[in-house]
Structure 1
Amino acid sequence: DERQFVIHLSSGEQLQVQLPSYQAPATKDASGYFVAADRTDLLDLFIGSEGTLGLVTQVQVGIIPLPSDIFSCMAFFSDVESAVAFVKSARQASRDLENPLDALAIEYYDPHALRLLRPDYPRIPENAGAAVYFEQATSQDDEIVLMEWVELLEEHGCMEDFSGFSEKEKAEMVEIRHAVPEFCHRGVRQHGTYKIATDVAVPDEALDAILAAYHDIGEASGVPYVLFGHIGNNHLHWDFIPENKQQLTAAKQAFIDLSRRGVELGGTISAEHGVGKKSYEENGASYPYLYMMYGEQGLRETALTKHQLDPMHILNRGNIVPADFLDSLQRDSG
């Protein structure tokens, strides 16, 4: 059975481990246990399990050399559509082994994010409707790569850009990227609320649909928000900045609506941060965060996998699956 493991311990004991029947989404994902479409590697099961399955006692790492140089660029576009079209072309080129373009990172800034940044970073053009930041490893005099990027930017109507060649210029662009969440936190502190943020990622073919959902749900909520982040793998950060309790309630509902839409599109509710002990409220009831993706059956199957590897439930109890799901297994086995 491809969804079962037999682990032979040094004591001679054998552990029978049954994997959940669900399949991890085909995108960047940190929600629940990783279960592949065909055969899951035991190592992959442990990676990203939020400390619920075991302890790592030894790690062997491989070290690769740093590139001799990294070219950085912040490109501004008149509208979101042009920026997204550039992203798609840059991704496609980067996946073509015969193409000299090979982006290390592709980051996105929506109109709201640019408005948030402009007072502190006046270099951002007033009429820019979106921006894309990208990096590529290069040699010191790699003119071919630079010219290919210039052509791609011009092809998609880039209105202005600034490139990072010196360490100071590169540091400024990284600073701008980190300033967005920092300014969001500053805003909610001023209003005595707290930030509501999604961690959704979707497959490539769903990028347009999830961008439409961000816009439609965000605008309908009436809550100030920004959209930015790792568009290279369709993992954008959607940060709400509620100014009062009513907006906080609306932001929480928008979070649920968007996360559910991400799942409908074949994506994940958490691409980076994991689910931990988080829950959400809906129709007067509280649900574990992972319930949105896999339902009660998926949660119980996840609990069984943990129970078989940690029968005393001492490793990060309550992470990923609620403690009461584990308690029922312990009672049944006892």
Structure 2
Amino acid sequence: MLEGLSNIVGQSNVLTGSAAQPYLVDWRGRYRGKAQAVVRPGNVEEVAAVVRYCVLNNVPVVTVGGNTGLCGGATPDDSGRAVVLSTARLNKIRSIDTDNDTITVEAGCILQSVQDAAREAGRLFPLSLAAEGSCTIGGNLATNAGGTQVLRYGNTRELTLGLEVVTAEGEIWNGLRGLRKDNTGYDLRDLFVGSEGTLGIITAATLKLYPLPVAQRTAMLAFASLEDSVTFLSRARQGFGAALTGFEVMAGSVLQAVVRLFTDQRIPFENESANSPWFALLELSDSESAEHAQARFEHVLGQAIEDGLLLDAAIAQSVAQSKAFWHLRESIPLAEAELGKSVKHDVSIPISQIAEFVAVTNKALQAEFPGVHNVVFGHLGDGNLHYNVAPGAGQTEGEILSLQSQIYQLVHDSVASFNGSISAEHGIGQLKVNELPRYKSELELKLMRQIKQALDPKGLLNPGKVVNV
């Protein structure tokens, strides 16, 4: 097996033993697997050849990008049968078309590199998330990643025009069309995006670009309640329209934990507002001028303060201040890691019902598991909450993790009662594969299995993820 793989990608790009280990554990350290080898193909033809070789030998293929996933979707099982295929060497920016506003990149490109390439061409690639310095475009596509600007630009699927995919039989589909209108049958592109490497291996993509904003304004907002932040969001949508590009909500206790752990950071209020129960981070991107952006900002925020909807607002006065505000938000997962493992949820709820969902679920958790600590933050603008449950005072990490299945069921049942989703942007992976049957209808699961069977009849692409067959 190793000799055959070496003949395809070169001996130096077939990793075993200690060299393979970093590819066999997920970012959170929750899942550890085994593999015959890790292969690092350098182009789409080598990817296809690896897949054909593995199919010939009935060997599963698990694809890994930046390994920043949160659901174990890129980690093999512990059978040791699989070959892990790393896209790290598929890292070329193939082309940029500023007239068509598209960029074509390979799956192993780091997200930040794509952002930088777009910016150098005078364009914006708007996908933005905390792991952008290490996650890859292939992983973003595989999980249909969201991030902080979904409110304006949509998830990764909405940013994708075309794909290049290696099928489960080792054929290459070249669908790299930079077309915004292509109504010629089933939308294969949208089928592969979000499939977590279970239907095919995405090797390249043609993505949408946008004009760079002329001016941006960022503010940290303090609220007396989550209900007020939801009400203000409606006002912000009306006042800013499409210029509203980000609206992140954070429980006060969450931000206070960040500044307690990372002493170089601070909540940007000098008064009692620093102890507010809820905060939001708002970003406005204006296409006219800095003066126009500032005027709109001051009008909407000023009116909300006059009406008692906002407790306080801190407007960034420089790029450095704006980055500091975003750094606070992006440090929340790091603070969680410092505080120890928790039971994490990536859920979406209709925005109008988010405050009620949090109140109802918090109460139910305290009744069932007294003392647990709720860590609530997320992308309020698109209804996506990271609703995490951490150990409270006197509780240990082990105790909270021993309750994981019960906590999952309570929270996910609550999500379902509000017509929400148990996975907003992290995917299913292996973490939620056994949860899915509880919240998907039998018909939905049947259709998903039929699609998997049709595109991967031997079940060799990322087995055990997304849907059990």
Q: TM-score range by the shorter chain?
A: 0.7 to 0.9
State the alpha-carbon separation in 2 of the partners of residues 253 and 94 from structure 1: 42
Is 1:70 the counterpart of 2:216? The answer is yes
8 Å Cα contact 2:345/2:388 also seen in 1: yes
Match of 1:44 in 2: 190
In the TM superposition, residue 271 of structure 1 has moved relative to its aligned partner by 0.5
Structure 1 residues 314 and 156: CA distance shift in structure 2, 3 A: farther
Q: CA deviation at 1:82?
A: 2.3
1:145 matched residue in structure 2? 296
> 2:350 matched to 1:203?
yes
Determine helix, strand or coil for the equivalent of 1:197: coil
Alpha-carbon spacing, 1:237–1:263, altered in 2? closer, same or farther (3 Å): same
Residue pair 1:201, 1:267 contacting (<8 A) in 2 also: yes
Following superposition, the deviation at residue 89 of structure 1 comes to: 2.5
Instruction: Kindly indicate whether residue 323 of structure 2 is the aligned counterpart of residue 171 of structure 1.
Output: yes
Unaligned residue ranges in structure 2 (runs of 5+): 1-150, 157-184
- Which of 256, 260, 271 is the equivalent residue of 2:424? 271
Q: How does 1:214-229 map to 2 (within 5 A)?
A: 214-220=361-367, 221=369, 222-229=371-378
Aligned-residue CA RMSD (Å) = 2.7
Check whether the contact 2:350–2:383 (CA below 8 A) recurs between aligned residues: yes
Do the aligned partners of 2:199 and 2:461 also contact (CA within 8 Å) in 1? yes
Amino acid across the alignment from 2:372 = V
Shift in CA distance, 122/107, structure 1 to aligned 2, threshold 3 Å: closer
1:236-247 mapped onto 2 (5 Å cutoff) = 236-242=385-391, 243-244=395-396, 245-247=398-400
| Counterpart residue type for residue 104 of structure 1 | T
Runs of 4+ in structure 1 over 6 Å off = 27-30
- Asked if the contact 1:74/1:131 (under 8 Å) is kept, the reply is yes
Supply the distance in 1 between the matched residues of 2:155 and 2:374 (Cα, whole angstroms). 23
Q: Which runs of 5+ in 1 are unaligned?
A: 1-26, 31-38, 189-193, 280-286, 326-334
Q: Is the 8 A contact 2:301 2:313 kept in 1?
A: no
The answer (yes or no) to whether the contact 2:343–2:400 under 8 Å persists in 1 is: no
Residue 253 in structure 1 maps to residue 399 in structure 2: no
Q: Is the 8 A contact 1:29 1:201 kept in 2?
A: no
Given candidates 375, 379, 389, the residue that maps to 1:230 is 379
Moved more, 207-216 or 265-274: 207-216
Alpha-carbon separation, structure 1, partners of 2:438 and 2:299:
43
1:85-131 C-alpha deviation (Å, 9 max, x unpaired) = 21232235455x7xxxx310101111321332343425453441211
**Cα shift readout 1:22-55 (whole Å, capped 9, x = no counterpart):** xxxxx9999xxxxxxxx97333222111111123
Paired residue secondary structure (1:196) = coil
Q: TM-score, normalization: structure 2?
A: 0.53
Of the structure 1 ranges 113-122 and 261-270, higher mean CA displacement relative to structure 2 is found in 113-122
1:225-275: CA deviation from partner (whole Å, max 9, x where unpaired): 211110111111112222423333345423321112212222210011100
Q: Is the 8 A contact 1:223 1:251 kept in 2?
A: no
Q: Is the partner of 2:440 in helix, strand or coil?
A: helix
Partner Cα distance (1:309, 1:112) in 2: 46
The alignment status of 1:301 with 2:301, answered yes or no, reads no
Normalised by the length of structure 1, the TM-score is: 0.72
Deviations, residues 301-321 of structure 1 (Å, cap 9, x unaligned): 311211111112222122111
The change in CA–CA distance for 1:251 and 1:115 in structure 2 (over 3 A counts) is farther
Larger relative contact order (C-alpha < 8 A, sep ≥ 6)? 1
Change (3 A) 1:146 1:175: same
